Amino acid sequence: MNYPTVSKFFIGLLIVSYSALSIAVQSNTAPNVIGDIVSFESEVLGEERKLQVYVPANYQTSDKNYPVLYVLDGQWNFMNAVAIQQTLKVPSNLPEMIIVGTVNQNPQRRRLFGEENKFKRYLLDEVLPYIDSNYRTSRERLLFGWEMSAFFATNVFFNHSQLFDGAIITNGGDSSDVEIQKFNDANKEQTKYLFIANSDKDIYTVKYGKNLSRKLKQYANKQLNWRYQKFNEEVHASVPYVAMYQGLKHYYFNYQSLVFADLEAFNSLGGLDYLTRYFKTRGQRFNLPQTIPDSTKNSLIWLAWNNNDFKHFTLFMKVFDSVLSSKRNTSMMWQNRFARFYLKHGDLVNAQRYFEQAIHKYPNKAQLHEGLSLVFKAYGKREEARRHLMQAIELAVKTNDKKLANYQAALSKL
């Protein structure tokens, strides 16, 4: 299977990573130029610990509370998470997030993840409270784990699900039937999200994703929204980069405004009723407006116009009339498009209305007068058609309009 969107994502990731590395090379005092390194004494681990913390660009000037993505093995995957925030159109595609990376270099990494209960106490009893006390968090938390930390992350997610809303695990991960049942008992009303990723080329860990997927099919309740996806073009070291992006998309599956590839997809999902339900649910989940946004209204109007679908076009122009007074739709370009589309499909009343209101706002545009002349010609009002066509020619001469010859030819036929 091909993933063309992933390749674009990697390009953006490389740009951000290269920029950060370039700055780091120029300054010996800034080994980590994206985000901050914070240190504190861990009583649980009995040593000083470091965290990488990234906050959104407008964090200092806003008063918002932000969700937090906790990245285990931040020494490898923290930059990936930041790149996703900086290269995607945030907050349109994904919300702005605080990103926290735990730093565990080998051989310390293997020791700490081997001491699972101790490291769990460190994460849950020290890191989470530290971040919540020092940053404006919404208490919405996601957990990311790769390889060894994937096994740790699944343990935390299923046994302490009240602390995390979702988890992304890649190249590893496992859970027992008992742990899944414990999760079911603790989450009978609130939906949680889990994304599992691997590749058949990772011959060492792919079996764990398959086994966990099998168990979830058998035991998980409907409150767990989970997905297992294999990226077979990737290998052990590259899967986590794709997995984090796709995992965040899985968790925030209904965060974006809706965009349809075609009107068949719009109708197959339920049309206007589906739109209403989607944005109501989206608004309730993310504390966003529950009405259909202008971007979706405009995209559907454009889709109908672009596909020459007059039935859907008239429907959208009627039910989305609130968007027709926007700067976009009152532009000369769109007023002209609307008028000519109505004219093309024989709706002379609306064609005349849009041409006339456009001429009122843009009186010196030859193409609008030429369009209105076509309306009057269709009505059989040849003198009115001639008058507006002569105005079009006069304006075209003044502006060196390339369509002047066409207007003159049309006038001779009248």
List pLDDT tens digits, range 299-337: 999 999 999 999 999 999 999 999 999 999 999 999 999
The answer on pLDDT for 362 being more than 90 is yes
Residue 276 lies in a domain: yes
The answer on pLDDT for 257 being more than 90 is no
Number of independent structural domains in the chain: 2
Q: Are residues 14 and 104 in the same domain?
A: yes
The half-sphere exposure of 106 on its side-chain side, counting CA atoms within 13 A, is: 4
User: What is the average pLDDT across 117-121?
Assistant: 90
Q: Are residues 267 and 164 in the same domain?
A: no
* Amino acid, single-letter form, for residue 407: Y
Q: Are residues 230 and 334 in the same domain?
A: no
The answer on pLDDT for 158 being more than 80 is yes
Residue 367 lies in a domain: yes
* Boundary of a domain, candidates 217, 251, 285: 251
Can you give the pLDDT at residue 108? 65
Q: Which structural domain range is residue 358 located in?
A: 263-413
Residue 257 lies in a domain: no
* Averaged pLDDT of the chain: 89
Name the pLDDT band for 86 (thresholds 50, 70, 90).
confident
Q: Are residues 351 and 247 in the same domain?
A: no
* Euclidean distance between CA atoms 124 and 134, whole angstroms: 15
The answer on pLDDT for 58 being more than 50 is yes
Q: Are residues 40 and 179 in the same domain?
A: yes
The torsion of the CA quartet 50, 56, 61, 62, rounded to 10 degrees, works out to: -110
Q: Are residues 226 and 370 in the same domain?
A: no
Q: Are residues 218 and 157 in the same domain?
A: yes
* Boundary of a domain, candidates 198, 224, 251: 251
Residue 407 lies in a domain: yes
* Boundary of a domain, candidates 188, 219, 251: 251
Q: Are residues 76 and 224 in the same domain?
A: yes
Name the pLDDT band for 35 (thresholds 50, 70, 90).
confident
Percent of the chain residues past pLDDT 70, beyond the cut: 90
Name the pLDDT band for 10 (thresholds 50, 70, 90).
very low
